[in-house]
Amino acid sequence: MKKYLLLASLFLGIIGNAQTLLSETFEGTTFPPTGWTRSNTNASRPWDFTNVNFTSGSVLETTFKITGTKSACIDWIAVANTANLTSPTFSMASASNPVLKFNVKVGWSYMINQNAGNLVAQISTNGTTWTDVWTEDTEPGFTNDGDGDPDTDLYNTVLVQKSLTPYIGQTNVQIRFRYTGNNADAVSIDDVQVLGSVLATHEVTARPKANIYPNPTKGEITVQADKKIKLLTVFDVLGKQIMKAETEKIDIGSLPKGTYFVAIDFSDGTSLAKKILKE
């Protein structure tokens, strides 16, 4: 299996004034949906609706449709293909607990056991640099029916939820689903959402304030805030969770030099993300 750096599942809960920052059910009449884009290296295998007739024919419709009348899908082909399905840009400037949610179907045998292909969900804040937040390789929800026949997989639907806390405050965010495969299997996604506990307009000026010192640092840092701190979580620049502490102090002396982010969760359910530099 290929190893990917993942954003940790920091399930903070959507509380208070929850808002939908991105939503797509793939129930429209055109593909890709408005604002979405697609690209693929094999001209005959783009992302499309499950009811589009590729080599697998009606199998896509009956096996890979997740909810509603259709889902977003890409069919397999016995040569190499890399295909992207990219969301419109959206803002998380006022989000406090953003979470990416989507439903997905992946064949266990070809995609996971044989690893003939990969499906990842990625995030970008500039449209150029992309970071993996989820991959099917390490998703425990996909199941093997145990019969040894790769063509009779269960193709069970998995609901994925990934925290986007390290990207709080970003205003040019996109989500991308990237498929790579060579004689692998079809996959499908549906019900894509980014949800955030967003502060109402009159609450924006009351957002928590926090300072980290020393910054840059060679070891322990202290967070000074105007609210009670519940949890500190340190992430690297790729969104991988490194360490956490249930105090206002945390020691990063053991980490390599570089840039990190500290997610600060407060007792009242609000949160902030701050950048720190380890010398």
Question: Mean pLDDT of all residues in the chain?
Answer: 84
Segment 98-119 mean pLDDT = 93
Give the pairing of strands 37-40 and 80-86. antiparallel
Give the confidence band of 54 by pLDDT, cuts at 50, 70, 90: low
CA angle 129/130/132 to nearest 5° reads 155
Neighbours of 196 (CB within 10 A): 24
Segment 26-44 mean pLDDT = 96
Which contiguous run of DSSP H or E holds residue 179?
strand 174-182
CA distance linking residue 153 with residue 163, whole number of Å: 29
pTM for the structure as a whole = 0.67
Written as six digits, the tokens of 56 are 């697998």
- Residue 266 near residue 227 (C-beta atoms within 8 A): yes
- Residue 178 near residue 119 (C-beta atoms within 8 A): yes
Give the pairing of strands 72-74 and 187-197. antiparallel
Instruction: Write out pLDDT tens, residues 147-201.
Output: 888 777 778 899 999 999 899 889 999 999 999 999 999 999 999 999 987 444 3
DSSP type of residue 199: P
Q: Which residues pair with 274 in a beta bridge?
A: 262
Give the confidence band of 253 by pLDDT, cuts at 50, 70, 90: very high
Give the confidence band of 56 by pLDDT, cuts at 50, 70, 90: low
CA distance to 17, 142, 205, per residue, from 199 (Å)? 6, 36, 10
Q: What single-letter amino acid sits at 245?
A: A
